[in-house]
Chain A
Amino acid sequence: GDSVTQMEGPVTLSEEAFLTINCTYTATGYPSLFWYVQYPGEGLQLLLKATKADDKGSNKGFEATYRKETTSFHLEKGSVQVSDSAVYFCALTLPRLNNAGNMLTFGGGTRLMVKP
């Protein structure tokens, strides 16, 4: 079945450090890929997405490139801030034939802690 694997956390960085959170996937077909962020006590917010190979999603200084050859979608940010401390989820979705909505498959989540 479809699955998403992301690096286990927590990831602890100092402010202004470079961030990479690895994400790889297995899927039958051509998925769309997402990164969601969850701040403490809140729901999920879409951070960025990519819908086809070689697409780069970007938002708020975060980037991720859809790499079909390595089935990866690693999240990067050049200079993290304390306010980036959150849990990050990688996810994929595949088109469904029964028009029943686009079901997401999530990775396990990676907690990021940024220290001043």
Chain B
Amino acid sequence: GAVVSQHPSRVICKSGTSVKIECRSLDFQATTMFWYRQFPKQSLMLMATSNEGSKATYEQGVEKDKFLINHASLTLSTLTVTSAHPEDSSFYICSASWLEYEQYFGPGTRLTVT
């Protein structure tokens, strides 16, 4: 199956700093990438959908100025958590798909804000 990677897998940052998470489709071109957030023992919450070369579409309640998403190429999307606070600590998962086809998920990034 198709492979999606995320980097870093774990990151610890201080409150007030920004952190960038990368999501890459390794063996296919992703027209659409999705960013999810998962709280402990809970389901995935879709944060935003991004199409290559256009602005991301954010779900209701997600602050677009805090969670900056860039989908600059068909194989790379980045999520930047700006001015991070402890409540932003979470497990962030990306997925990628080609047109209407299946989503392939990355392994996730655990963010801890101290």
Contacts and interface: CB of A to CB of B under 8 A. Distances in A.
A106 interface: yes
Contacts of B110: 41
Interface in A54-97: 89, 93, 95-96
A89 B107 contact: no
Interface of B: 1, 4, 6, 31-32, 34, 41-44, 46, 49, 51, 57, 93, 95, 97, 99-108, 110
Contact of B43 (A41, A49, A99, A109): A109
A29 to B, nearest CB: 14
Contact of B108 (A42, A104, A111): A42
A43 B106 contact: yes
A101 B44 contact: no
Nearest to B101: A102
B100 A103 contact: no
Interface string A100-116: 11111011110100000
B34 A103 contact: yes
B21 to A, nearest CB: 13
A102 B42 contact: no
For the complex of A and B, the 9 pairs showing the least CB-CB separation, nearest first, are A101-B32, A44-B105, A43-B107, A43-B108, A43-B105, A108-B43, A109-B43, A106-B43, A101-B97
Contact of B57 (A89, A100, A107): A100
A95 B100 contact: yes
Contacts of B103: 93, 101-102, 104
Nearest to B96: A101
Contacts of A44: 44, 93, 95, 105
